[in-house]
């Protein structure tokens, strides 16, 4: 094979790779749009009247996750299954955002931490790497950390809405989450930086709870809850 033929062959490989990446980008753009729509639906819970609408907003978000499943199903067809990590960079951030949205929905519904398996089921993907398109453990953890920031905001807005007990429950949840992350030896730089943000979320929520306590609102809420 001549040098010219060799480089022509290489160019053919590069062109095919670029075509795959372009197809992936198109599908990912659709996923990003759906993620924005889900976020828009869930953002309304931060409004003073939003807490009463949590069940309906979560139901609407779950309907939109059906669209996500379809879009991810399309994405799976755009590249060889064994080359997941070769193209992972294209959907990594949107997958983390979708994980955050799924985690936020589950928290709003049950005030529990979503499992990696539950997120995978909501998105229509796998947990086990060998089975194909899957939820990488670091993407799952990143999504959970994004949710923590959203909960710190929810704690503040709960007070504005007159729901003084919710920040206490959020505080307990976030402290448990922080304890869980402390057990991990995080070597992924972006993930470690996100975890550093969790410390600020914990502090922010503690300040909200402390403010409620010194104003006597937390005790009043607990007493009315006992009644």
Measured distance CA(120)–CA(116) in Å, rounded: 6
Distance of CA 169 to the CA centre of its chain: 20
Ligand-binding annotation for 176, yes or no, is no
**203-to-88, 179, 207, 226 alpha-carbon distances in Å:** 34, 14, 6, 27
Query: Phi and psi for 126 in degrees, rounded to 5?
Result: -95, 165
On whether the CB atoms of residues 158 and 151 are closer than 8 A, the answer is no
- Between CA 56 and CA 218 the distance in angstroms is 28
* Residues in a beta bridge with 134: 126
Query: Cα–Cα distance between 12 and 15 in angstroms, integer?
Result: 5
| Six-digit token string for 41 | 């639906």
Task: Give Cα 198 distance to the centre of its chain.
Answer: 14
The span from the CA of 111 to the CA of 104, in Å, is 9
The annotated binding site is made up of 150
Which residues does the annotation place in the binding site for Mg(2+)? 150
């Amino acid at each position: 094979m001549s040098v010219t033929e060799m480089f022509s062959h290489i160019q053919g490989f590069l062109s095919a790779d670029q075509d795959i990446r372009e197809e992936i980008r198109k599908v990912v753009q659709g996923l990003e749009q759906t993620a924005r729509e889900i976020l828009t639906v869930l953002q309304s819970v931060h409004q003073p009247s939003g807490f009463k609408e949590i069940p309906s907003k979560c139901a609407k978000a779950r309907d939109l996750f059906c669209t996500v499943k379809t879009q991810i199903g399309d994405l799976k067809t755009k590249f060889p299954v064994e080359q997941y990590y070769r193209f992972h960079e294209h959907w990594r951030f949107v997958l983390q955002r979708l994980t955050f949205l799924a985690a936020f929905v589950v928290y709003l519904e049950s005030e529990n931490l979503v499992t990696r398996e539950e997120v995978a089921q909501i998105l229509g993907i796998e947990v086990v790497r060998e089975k194909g398109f899957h939820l990488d453990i670091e993407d799952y953890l990143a999504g959970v950390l994004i949710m923590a920031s959203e909960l710190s905001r929810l704690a503040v807005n709960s007070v504005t809405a007159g729901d003084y007990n919710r920040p206490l429950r959020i505080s307990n949840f976030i402290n448990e989450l922080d304890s869980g992350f402390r057990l991990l030896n995080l070597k992924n730089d972006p993930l470690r930086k996100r975890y550093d943000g969790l410390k600020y979320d914990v502090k922010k929520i503690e300040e909200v709870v402390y403010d409620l306590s010194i104003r006597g609102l937390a005790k009043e809420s607990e007493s009315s809850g006992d009644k």
